Chains A and B, each alone.
Chain A
Amino acid sequence: MLELIVISTLNGVLFGMLLFLMASGLTVIFSMLGVLNFAHASFYMLGAFFGFQISRWVGFWPALLIAPLLAGAIGAGVERYGLRRVHKNGHVAELLFTFGLAFAIEEIVQIIWGKSPVDFRVPPLLDFPAFTIFSTNYPAFKMFMLAVSIVIFVGLLVVLKKTRIGLIVQAALTHPHMVGHLGHNVGRIFMLVFGVGTALAAVAGVIAGPALVTQSNMAGLLGPILFVVVVVGGLGSLPGAFVASLLIGLVQTFAVSMNGSLAGAFGPLSPDYAATWLSDIWNVTIAQIAPIMPYLLLVLILIFRPMGLLGTRDT
């Protein structure tokens, strides 16, 4: 039992931090600019493929730096020449713009790198088990991932709360005109925020690429889970997103480790109902529904606490 709890907690934290890594950029964009960026996962994918290609040429570590810069530059370009134009037509237009972008990026990646998965490997420097608990190995790369997530979290928090630029960004979100009157270039601030958000997505891509599968459908398969993280955490709240990632990671991991079902708790269903839909509900295990729990959480949070876990304003 202890083994199960320890292992599940560890796995949950690791998964949660992976989620935060992927969602941190979206938190920045979605909660600060209010843009429902459906292309976020596409930038994550771009990061993975850039990382793959650059690490072929000059190695993984330079790739970890260059790929996000590239993706960030593309992101900033998208904001400058696309989103800014669309912005005045409202959120739905922005959203559809990013939808279209996601389509186009997926196809471009397919044209360049093909449709099959590419062989993106963990760098040799980190390709060893960091430690072993209850005879389960924890690879060094996952620890690295954890460290990067925490660094990003702390870094973003410090930048937003303690630096001048962070204050200007926050001010520009609520009072763009006032900030503009004070002589700041609001357009450039928005462009910067969007660029940083997409660069963060690309960091997640470079790191998750070798750990997961780098393929042209990876953006689509990620699905809307990142929105769940941001909304459950509370819009505009970075600590909220952090807590929500951990919560979702832990909930999902613990749910997977449980085999309980209604049939297990109350005994098998009487054979009269064996062929009805009741038997489906009766026999489904908690482990089976684990991956849809985040969505259940999302709906419940929005019903009972619409500002999210740590959010301050209504969504």
Chain B
Amino acid sequence: MRKLAMIAAVALPMFGTAAFAQETVKIGYIDPLSGGGASVGEVGYKTFQFLADELNAKGGILGKKVEIVPLDNKTNPQESLIQAQKAIDAGVRYVTQGNGSSVAGALSDFVTKFNDRNPGKEVLYFNYAAVDPVLTNDKCSFWHFRWDANSDIKMEALTNYMKGVPAIKKVYLINQDYSFGESVRTTAKKMLASKRPDIQVVGDELHPLLKITDFAPYIAKIKASGADSVITGNWGQDFALLLKAAADAGLKVNWYTYYAGGTGGPTAVKQANLNHQVFQVGEGIPNIDHKPSQEFEKALRAKYDFSLFYPRAVNEMRMFAAAAEKAKSLDPVKVAAALEGMEWDVFNGGKGVMRKSDHQFFQPMYISSLGERSEKEPFDEEKTGWGWKMVAKIDTAATELPTTCKMERP
């Protein structure tokens, strides 16, 4: 009985995992495609598919078609490792992932150990959205490349903007109680203290991740503190509910955020009626006066019902193709070598560079606010009628931070 079940057991996951000859370049997309995180993961998957189609229309990479293999990790680190193992069995040499720093940490660790133990079968890990600074500092790996600005870089860009706004006097910090929220709050305090010592941090709150249904008490605290600006790394429902509670209570502050543009974010901002009071730091928005990126945006919106949330994914895929062409090989070791130190004209215009010492990509950062549009802003978000407006651009050089990475190269 047991043996029979076991044989059936193995037969199931074995479907289609026989290693085919490398006719295609397979990129394993490991992110949540079911469960709570699925709304974000699905947008990412479709974005990558769109990018693969773009590459394939131009003849693929080194004449080979690009294929995105979706692998559902259910936002669980262990599950991600199983999926990575499956992907490797199926002949995948490149994996990409973004949602959740805990998953990213586990994956980076897994890929590093796997490559160490299986020389000749190396796998590269492209990170497009996990922003924990540790991945390009203390726990950096030669096999990990990050296209998203890590949370410290974003804070560096944000505080570089804030230091020029004299109206900001009292800042309140509210973040989710986990490593990302923690790093937002500590870096914010440190950077504000050195760049604008006159700014008072009047509150510093951590709340449990995705467990709060009513933010009214937190809003009451913010109100009592007399803050004029709030910095938050909140995302998902923690962001939407925070804004709703603020609007209900009539709290008038400016919100400096990381993820106001995430799925559901613009809807929440519109519902709370915070016209140009919510700011986001990121590597690009649709409404930047840059022709190629606007055309890309139009094509994407014509096909799917979402806007481009991941300009970094565009950089990632295009740079990967360029690196492979440059190395004239799809061998991950050679591609990795070609990517190191690579300079690139980024999606929204301007220069970016994949820094060799820690595999962190540096690019121009934008501060933007969401609200009513003028003619200069053709695109709205989530059918709200409101769109992003550029408030400031921080050049690549003003975002660079030192790293503690001691890269071990093969």
Give A residues with C-beta under 8 Å from B.
3-4, 7-8, 11-12, 14-15, 18, 107, 110, 114-117, 119, 121, 129, 132, 135-139, 142, 211-213, 215-218, 220-223, 252-253, 256-257, 285, 287-288, 290-292
Contact = CB atoms under 8 A, between A and B. Distances in A.
A213 B249 contact: no
B36 A221 contact: yes
Contacts of B264: 116-117, 213, 215
Contacts of B216: 11, 14-15, 253
Contacts of A11: 214, 216-217, 220
A223 B209 CA distance: 13
B206 interface: yes
Given A115-B38, A117-B264, A119-B271, A256 B211 contact: no
Contacts of B217: 8, 11-12, 15, 252-253, 256-257
Contacts of B207: 256, 287-288, 290-291
Interface of B: 34-36, 38-39, 42, 177, 205-208, 210-214, 216-221, 223-224, 237, 240-241, 244, 248-250, 263-264, 267-268, 271, 382, 384
A219 B221 CA distance: 28
A120 to B, nearest CB: 9
Contacts of B206: 285, 287-288
Given A11-B217, A115-B38, A116-B264, A136 B249 contact: yes
Contacts of B241: 212-213
Contact of A223 (B39, B211, B263, B271): B211
Nearest to B38: A115
B214 A15 contact: yes
Contacts of B263: 116-117
A277 to B, nearest CB: 16
B228 to A, nearest CB: 15
A220 B36 contact: yes
Contacts of A15: 213-214, 216-217
A117 B213 contact: no
Contact of A136 (B214, B237, B250, B268): B250
B267 A117 contact: yes
B246 to A, nearest CB: 10
Given A11-B220, A110-B38, A137-B249, 7 more contacts: A7-B220, A115-B38, A119-B382, A137-B250, A217-B38, A223-B211, A291-B207
A17 B38 CA distance: 31
Contacts of A4: 220, 224
Contacts of A7: 220, 224
Contacts of B212: 291
Q: Which of A116, A135, A137, A221 has the most CB of B within 10 A?
A: A116
B221 A257 contact: yes
Q: Which of B206, B213, B241 has the most CB of A within 10 A?
A: B213
Contacts of A218: 237
Contacts of B211: 221, 223, 291
Nearest to A139: B248
A211 B244 contact: yes
A92 to B, nearest CB: 23
Nearest to A6: B220
B205 A287 contact: yes
A118 B165 CA distance: 35
Nearest to A255: B217
Contacts of B219: 136
The 8 closest A-B pairs by CB, nearest first: A137-B250, A115-B39, A117-B264, A217-B36, A256-B217, A11-B216, A15-B214, A253-B217
A14 B241 CA distance: 15
A15 B221 CA distance: 16
A18 B217 CA distance: 14
A213 B237 contact: yes
Contacts of B268: 117, 213
A215 B248 contact: no
B280 to A, nearest CB: 18
Nearest to A252: B217
Given A11-B216, A253-B217, A288-B207, A132 B250 contact: yes
B45 to A, nearest CB: 11
B220 A221 contact: no
Contact of A220 (B35, B39, B214): B35
A18 B35 contact: no
Contacts of B382: 119
Contacts of A252: 217
14 contacts: A11-B217, A12-B217, A18-B214, A115-B38, A121-B271, A212-B213, A213-B241, A213-B268, A216-B39, A256-B221, A287-B205, A291-B207, A291-B211, A291-B212
A222 B241 CA distance: 13
Contacts of A290: 207
Contacts of A107: 34
B240 A292 contact: no
Contact of B208 (A135, A137, A213, A292): A292
A129 B273 CA distance: 14
Q: Which of A11, A137, A288 has the most CB of B within 10 A?
A: A11
Nearest to A223: B211
Nearest to B211: A291
Contacts of A138: 248-249
A113 to B, nearest CB: 11
Contact of A129 (B208, B250, B271, B384): B250
A18 B39 contact: no
Contacts of B213: 15, 18, 212, 222
Given A121-B271, A136-B250, A137-B248, A8 B220 contact: yes
